[in-house]
Amino acid sequence: MGFIYPSGRKGLEPLDLEVGPGEIVAVLGPNGSGKSTLLRLLATDLRPTEGALSILGRPAVGRLARLRQKIGYAADIAVHFDVLTGEENAEAFRDLAPLGGAAPGSMEPLFRAFHLDEVSLVPVSEYSFGMRRKLLLLEALSLASPLLLLDEPSVGLDPPGVLALRASIEDLQQGGGTTIIASNEVRAIPMWAHRVLFLHRGRLVEDAALAELLKRLEGRTRIEIDLLAPEGGRPDVDLSGIEGVVQSQAAPTGVVVESSQRGRPLPSLAAALLEGGHQIRDVRVREPDLGDLFLSMTGESLAPETFRPTADKDADV
């Protein structure tokens, strides 16, 4: 299926995708890559403009209410009945659809797990952004739906919330439930997945098992060098010829180098940059993650940094 927005903008290039019961799938991509569009299509919020979509064994066309009752969907915007309490909201959204899987009164453990138990009787109008996000996730999880769709679940979520989310998803998966998570966070959430999809500018560029992707990262080291850029613009220095350098790319704050010899190319890299007239502000050497793999495949960062260091004498190296 594919999707084009009414304005003519491509939301999602046609893709062929099959997700089975019990799978946990992470959809990674930067903002505007089509993650939310894909999830909205799967939630039947949008209808494909090309191709066809089948959910839980039935085509997603015609009257969709019964199908929607089987989908737990936490969208990227947490909207609630603000005058009702958190508990009342969770109950209201559970009770709206008769086929909800959760039994009445089963919300309390989830409120405890997400550390919302102390505010469960407080009107949602008094909730913080993070609390609203947690409540939204809790509401989707409480349905025990065979298909759970989570859009950017890590936004506004604190570490206990992330743990609660993981536990709930794993519980669901053990019962045969399928979870699809859209995120541009790479360190925690995709690591729970069996399978990872990379979306770039509305196109599916990778669909592979997590284990396979992690294998591709073995033996690679990422060297991030932040440069001072007094005149703005990206550094135009070619570092790819240096021994041990597999790939070199300009980044918003400097250069990012992938090395096959851990930190060994560092002196040569520093020398080349200084000879090129650059000033080094900071250097970080770390193991690569899925974000690096995405960068190497697409040339675009999953979560581009907007901060750009300015000239600062104290930070000179």
Partner 1 sequence: MRFTIWRLEWRLAFRQRRLLLLNMGVPLLLVVPISAGGAPAYHASAAYTVLFVLFGSFGSAIPLLREGDNGLLRRIVLRGVHEPALLGERVLAGAGLDCVELVPAIAAVLLFGGTNPIVLITLLPSLVAALLTANLLGVWIAAGARSIAEGALFASVASLFLLHGSGVFRTPDPGGWGARIEAVLPFTALHESLFAAVGGSGAPPTSGQVLVAILSTTVLFLATLLVARNLAERITVPTG
When the beta carbons of 43 and 280 are compared against partner 1, the nearer one is 43
Task: Give me the least distance between CB of 172 and partner 1, in Å please.
Answer: 18
DSSP 189: G
User: How many whole angstroms separate alpha carbon 210 and alpha carbon 40?
Assistant: 23
Beta carbons within 8 Å of 205's beta carbon, 6+ residues apart: 198, 199, 297, 298
When the beta carbons of 77 and 271 are compared against partner 1, the nearer one is 77
Task: Give me the least distance between CB of 121 and partner 1, in Å please.
Answer: 13
Task: Give me the least distance between CB of 240 and partner 1, in Å please.
Answer: 42
When the beta carbons of 87 and 258 are compared against partner 1, the nearer one is 87
Task: Give me the least distance between CB of 273 and partner 1, in Å please.
Answer: 44
**Cα distances (angstroms) measured from residue 68 to each of 61, 78, 90, 165:** 11, 18, 17, 22
H or E element that contains 165: helix 159-174
When the beta carbons of 78 and 181 are compared against partner 1, the nearer one is 78
Task: Give me the least distance between CB of 257 and partner 1, in Å please.
Answer: 40
When the beta carbons of 5 and 129 are compared against partner 1, the nearer one is 5
Cα angle 21, 26, 27 (rounded to 5 degrees) comes to 115
Which residues does residue 215 pair with via DSSP β-bridges, in sequence order? none
When the beta carbons of 69 and 247 are compared against partner 1, the nearer one is 69
3-class DSSP assignment, residue 273: helix
Task: Give me the least distance between CB of 25 and partner 1, in Å please.
Answer: 20
Task: Give me the least distance between CB of 81 and partner 1, in Å please.
Answer: 6
Q: In the chain, what's the furthest Cα-to-Cα distance?
A: 69
Cβ burial of 103 (10 Å; 0-12, 13-18, 19+) is exposed
When the beta carbons of 92 and 303 are compared against partner 1, the nearer one is 92
Beta carbons within 8 Å of 190's beta carbon, 6+ residues apart: 26, 28, 181, 183, 196, 210, 290
Residues contributing to the site for partner 1 (CB under 8 A): 5-7, 43-45, 63, 65-71, 73, 75, 77, 79-81, 83-84, 92-93, 95-99
Task: Give me the least distance between CB of 77 and partner 1, in Å please.
Answer: 6
Task: Give me the least distance between CB of 124 and partner 1, in Å please.
Answer: 11
Beta carbons within 8 Å of 125's beta carbon, 6+ residues apart: 82, 83
**Cα distances (angstroms) measured from residue 167 to each of 54, 176, 190:** 28, 15, 14
CB 249 within 8 A of CB 255: yes
Beta carbons within 8 Å of 313's beta carbon, 6+ residues apart: none
When the beta carbons of 5 and 211 are compared against partner 1, the nearer one is 5
When the beta carbons of 63 and 313 are compared against partner 1, the nearer one is 63
